[in-house]
Structure 1
Amino acid sequence: MMLLGKFIQPVLSLKKLSTPGAHRHFWGWLNAVFNKVDYERIQAVGPDRAASEWLLRCGALVRFQGYDKWQHDYNGLPTGPLGKYKIQAIDATESCIMYRGFDYLDGLKHVEEIKLSNCIYIQDECLQRISETESLQKSLLRLMIISCGNVTDKGIIALHKLTNLEYLFLSDLPGIREKETTVQILKKSMPSLELELDLE
């Protein structure tokens, strides 16, 4: 982390980064770096550990199966036998997770709950990727999508592939323009789904 600090300090002092646009571009670049998938790491430590590191690096929280406490400190991730800690819940509130990192979700077989709130990089492709992830199709029971401005009807409709989903909460999603149609499609394809909306 020391190395990262040494790298960032001189870059931020550049005159070009004094403009708001350049500053945003820099953080966008850094967030993209945090989301780059390290497939060798997944092979070395397993999908749950690698995904935990990705999520915490991007500012999200994870909760492991059998534990009540949320993990929020990257350096505080528990150590132990590989495969011991399985992700059961993800809270990505105000995190920088983005589509390019979603390969980390492959192989997570115990995730029951995901909360996406105020995630500026979450878009329809991310929801499609969640719905097409075979392990999540089986395990995911609860999904909350709140204040994600890039999500549209297309992304919400894609969730119909999550056949075991029991609860879906949608709130403050200005990109949803055909609310009634979208809700009807979900209810038809997922009749047992409890759908809670706050989209006014």
Structure 2
Amino acid sequence: MKCLPFLQCHQMMLFGKISQQLCGLKKLPWSCDCRYFWGWLNAVFHKVDYERIRDVGPDRAASEWLLRCGAMVRYHNQERWQKDYNHLPTGPLDKYKVQAIDATDSCIMSIGFDYMEGLHHVERIRLRKCHYIKDDYLEKLGKLENLQKSVLEMEIISCVNVTKASLLYITQET
């Protein structure tokens, strides 16, 4: 599943004529600030399901979230990347531990970050062109003890909302 595309204001005219007064309001999802609407919709989509985490375990729940967002995961003792949500492996819930995450061009955002808290075996995280990733996400990642202990490599490339300050924060040893 791919992220919903950002639409330009003139494309929103398909939904009806938007008055100039309404276009000036930035907080309404149907205003000309279309990014707000899609950001809001993605935020609803990313809401963490704590019952699901409890029922299937953190690795399975995180895998489901990541795949729904267009990312890929690789499990320990597996060479293939899992790309398709509909083909997640079956079997005992504790059998598949996430070893690597490739979130290239995905729509993961910090609202779904709590899915990462229970992952204890992740060695590699790749964030490329993740437009919803912001500094607060990286700061949260840097504070997770389980990931501090397991992550050996983190690649952050072309994430437009990530500043140099957060990169420095995440590279500091605590």
Q: TM-score range by the shorter chain?
A: 0.7 to 0.9
Shift of 1:26: 4.0
| Matched residue, 2:54 | 43
| Matched residue, 1:100 | 111
What letter matches 1:15 in structure 2? G
What letter matches 2:15 in structure 1? L
Aligned residues: 153
| TM-score normalised by length of structure 1 | 0.69
Higher relative contact order (CA 8 A, sep 6+): 2
Identify the match of residue 149 of structure 2 among 138, 147, 152: 138
| Aligned sequence identity (%) | 60
* Change beyond 3 A, Cα 1:92–1:21: farther
Shift of 1:153: 1.9
Structure 1, unaligned stretches of length 5 or more? Answer: 1-12, 164-200
* Change beyond 3 A, Cα 1:135–1:58: same
| Matched residue, 1:121 | 132
| Matched residue, 1:89 | 100
Shift of 1:154: 1.7
| Matched residue, 2:16 | 15
Please list the CA deviations of residues 34-81 of structure 1 after superposition, one character each: whole Å capped at 9, or x if unmatched: 211000100000000000000011111000111011111111111111
Do 1:119 and 1:147's aligned partners in 2 also have CA atoms closer than 8 Å? yes
Structure with more of its chain in strand, by fraction: 1
Do 1:137 and 1:161's aligned partners in 2 also have CA atoms closer than 8 Å? no
Structure 2, unaligned stretches of length 5 or more? Answer: 1-13, 19-29
